Amino acid sequence: MVSQWRARSVPSVRRYVTAAMRYRWVILGILAVVWGAGLAGAYHEYTTTYESQATIWVLRPSPELSNTNPEDPGTPVIQTVASQQAELLSQLLRSDSFVREVVDQTSQRSALRSAPNEMAFLAGIRKRFDVETLGTNMLRVSYTTSDPRTPVEMVNAALTVRTERVLQARATSTAAVGTLYRREFETAQAQALDAARELDAFKTSHTGTLAPADESHLAQLQLAVDFAQSRLNELRGRADRAAVAAAVLEMSGLEFEVVDEPREQGTPSGGGRAAAILALVSLAAGSLLAGLLVFAGTVLADHVAGPLDVGRLAPARLFATVPRVAIPGSGSERDLRTALARIAFDDAEASRTV
Amino acid sequence: MTAALTHSFDGIASRIDASGARSVGFTSTLAGEGTSTIALGTALALAELRQEKVLLVDANWIRPSLTSDAHQDSALGLADHLARRTDLSKAIRSLGRSHLEFLPIGDRDAARPTLRGLATFLTTDVARFPTVLIDLPPVLTGEMYVLPWASLLDHLFVVLREAATPLPLVRQALGKIGLGAPEIILNRSAAAAPELTRSLIAAQTAGFR
């Protein structure tokens, strides 16, 4: 079984090896260009890129502080963990207004104002940010560029603008919730007044001993008043709790705390990951191109790679092989032919007719 | 050096000798495969092996390079004989030190190879030669000059150049020749012939199990 496999696989493998040998200079050229460019780019990236990063601790707020009422529209803003916060920051970075606001808080604001294409400038800033989740409660924000000072400014500005945006959104949300509760409270209050008014009117019109039917009606009116009062109390409590929870979260900063502040780097090393990716991509691209060339050279220029490969021409069979003959000082087919012709024809002192 | 060069063709010569073949032709798929070189080398090796007369015939109507090598471009040859312009004995050249004799192409415009003419040539005209080797043009470019020989020769070898001759063209050429089991000579093989033969036999044996 093994020898059968060998008999079949050796010729096919040899075809590729032969093609690789035939195109070896082209392959070496491709590898030299692609690998060389990639490695040079990676080296340049590594030696000229600075990076600053901030590590952030994220905590899910206590259930008492987060309103679990499904009707509460403020829930998505308050309930966050690391991945949610990372996603939130990434989404904010996708918007031009956020990036513009970040740049406005750094030394790059003059460059932004003088940029001929503001969108392209913002896009260039955006792609230098990286937000990654380190775990369930930790995330990292980093910025890379070619000077050591800008990354620190950018990361700090991004965190500041993000906080402002979240607080603004929370305030808007809280105001909306408050308005909602106020409207519901006003409605419930009107209903409670109506119920009390009906109860008073019934008591005024029915003095003395009441018939069983009137007693039942009186009990229903009293129950409606109690229910309306209870509803009023509940709405008042919910509105107070929503306002207090938002205020407490805003003051404590519990859910988003920067544990490692961004620092300015003295030596360039921020491009380590980008350089590694660049080097890997160039190595893979070079290998892929070389592989494609060998494959194309094998498939498109299909030929007999060796004696065992003659089997592909069945029913034709191999009668013999003529080895490559090395002629001292040359070795080409033409030289072999010349040497043979000299032996056969020139050795005859004079060709003569039989 | 002479011995070393001719020994490169000992493998082919000994197999032809073992097969008992008298008339052998060499053709190829395309030009430049080394057909004439192999025909010449095999003729030298066979002459030495059999120690009897070997006639090498240049029947390459397209590019008669053996005739050029022998400096016989304007000499009478096979075409003149087929056209009945000359007697064969006047066209065949004896090559001094070996048992090898050579028949150049002659005037190619004088005649074309026909089945009848070639049959007479092989069975009667060169009957005194125990071994006749024919150098033929490539099949794909000179089909009309090859096919008449195919049914008359004891062996017709198709020369391939290792790692060079395109397989689709080889298949096309083999289809044109139309022999049941065409025989291949692999030229400029990278591996040594005896080792290849052993590995080929081993692979075939394993395949039959």
Please, what's the b/e burial string for B152-185 (b: 16 or more CB within 10 A of its CB; e: otherwise)?
bbebbbbbbbbbbbbbebbeebbeebeeeebbbb
Distance in angstroms (rounded) separating the CA atoms of residues A135 and A155: 20
Q: Do B193 and A320 touch (CB under 8 A)?
A: yes
Residue type, A119: M
Q: Do B167 and A22 touch (CB under 8 A)?
A: no
For A14, the closest chain B residue by CA position comes to B163
For B95, the closest chain A residue by CA position comes to A348
Beta carbons of A14 and A265 less than 8 angstroms apart:
no
Distance in angstroms (rounded) separating the CA atoms of residues A213 and B132: 137
Query: What are the boundaries of each domain within chain A?
Result: 2-43+272-313, 50-260, 318-348
B 68-127: CB under 8 A from A: 69-72, 89-90, 92-98, 100-102
Distance in angstroms (rounded) separating the CA atoms of residues A7 and A66: 72
Helix (H), strand (E) at residue A260? strand A257-260
Site of tokens 């094998």: A298
Q: Do A316 and B190 touch (CB under 8 A)?
A: no
B 132-151: CB under 8 A from A: none
Interface mutation target, options B186, B188, B195, B201, chain A, most CBs of A under 10 Å: B186
Token reading at B28:
């190829």
Q: How are strands ordered across the β-sheet holding B183-189?
A: A317-323, B183-189, B155-161, B23-28, B131-135, B54-58, B100-103, B93-94, A352-353
Q: Do A352 and B102 touch (CB under 8 A)?
A: no
Distance in angstroms (rounded) separating the CA atoms of residues B157 and B9: 14
Give the homologous superfamily in CATH for domain B2-208. P-loop containing nucleotide triphosphate hydrolases (3.40.50.300)
Distance in angstroms (rounded) separating the CA atoms of residues B102 and B133: 10
**A298 contacts in chain B (CB < 8 Å):** none
> How near does any CA of chain A get to the CA of B142, in Å?
20
Confidence of residue A254 (pLDDT cuts 50, 70, 90): low
Per-residue pLDDT at A44 exceeds 70: yes
Q: Do B41 and A319 touch (CB under 8 A)?
A: no
pLDDT digits (tens, 9 = 90+) for A86-139: 888 888 899 999 999 999 989 888 888 888 998 999 999 998 898 988 888 889
Residues 6+ apart with CB under 8 A from A57: A137, A138, A257, A258, A259
Residues 6+ apart with CB under 8 A from B56: A344, B39, B40, B43, B66, B100, B101, B102, B103, B133, B135
**B70 contacts in chain A (CB < 8 Å):** 341, 344-345, 351
Lowest mean per-residue pLDDT among A302-311, B60-69, B70-79, B159-168: A302-311
| CA within 13 Å, CB half, A155 | 26
Residue B131: C-alpha distances to residues A45, B19, B37, B180, B186 (Å): 74, 12, 18, 23, 22
For A338, the closest chain B residue by CA position comes to B69
Distance in angstroms (rounded) separating the CA atoms of residues B43 and B16: 11
pLDDT digits (tens, 9 = 90+) for A146-187: 888 888 899 999 988 988 888 788 778 778 877 888 888 888
> How near does any CA of chain B get to the CA of A347, in Å?
7
What residues of A are in the B interface, CB distance below 8 Å?
3-4, 6-7, 18, 22, 301-308, 310, 312-313, 315-325, 328, 333, 336-337, 339-341, 343-345, 347-349, 351-354
Beta carbons of B91 and B70 less than 8 angstroms apart:
no
**Is the CB of B192 inside 8 Å of chain A's CB atoms?**
yes
Helix (H), strand (E) at residue A321? strand A317-323
Site of tokens 């048992």: B99
The structure's pTM equals 0.51
Residue range A217-229: average pLDDT? 90
Lowest mean per-residue pLDDT among A5-14, A78-87, B92-101, B133-142: A5-14
CATH code 3.30.1890 for A50-260: yes
Q: Do A328 and B1 touch (CB under 8 A)?
A: yes
Lowest mean per-residue pLDDT among B2-6, B43-47, B135-139, B161-165: B2-6
* Residue A113 exposed, middle or buried by CB count within 10 Å (0-12, 13-18, 19+): exposed
Query: What are the boundaries of each domain within chain B?
Result: 2-208
Interface mutation target, options B167, B195, B208, chain A, most CBs of A under 10 Å: B167
> How near does any CA of chain A get to the CA of B186, in Å?
5
Q: Please report the pLDDT score of residue A3 as a whole number.
A: 47
Beta carbons of A288 and B144 less than 8 angstroms apart:
no
Residues 6+ apart with CB under 8 A from B194: B11
Site of tokens 């109690």: A226
**A317 contacts in chain B (CB < 8 Å):** 181-184
Residue range B97-120: average pLDDT? 91
Q: Please report the pLDDT score of residue A350 as a whole number.
A: 41
Residue range B106-116: average pLDDT? 93
**B44 contacts in chain A (CB < 8 Å):** 340, 343-344
Q: Please report the pLDDT score of residue A250 as a whole number.
A: 60
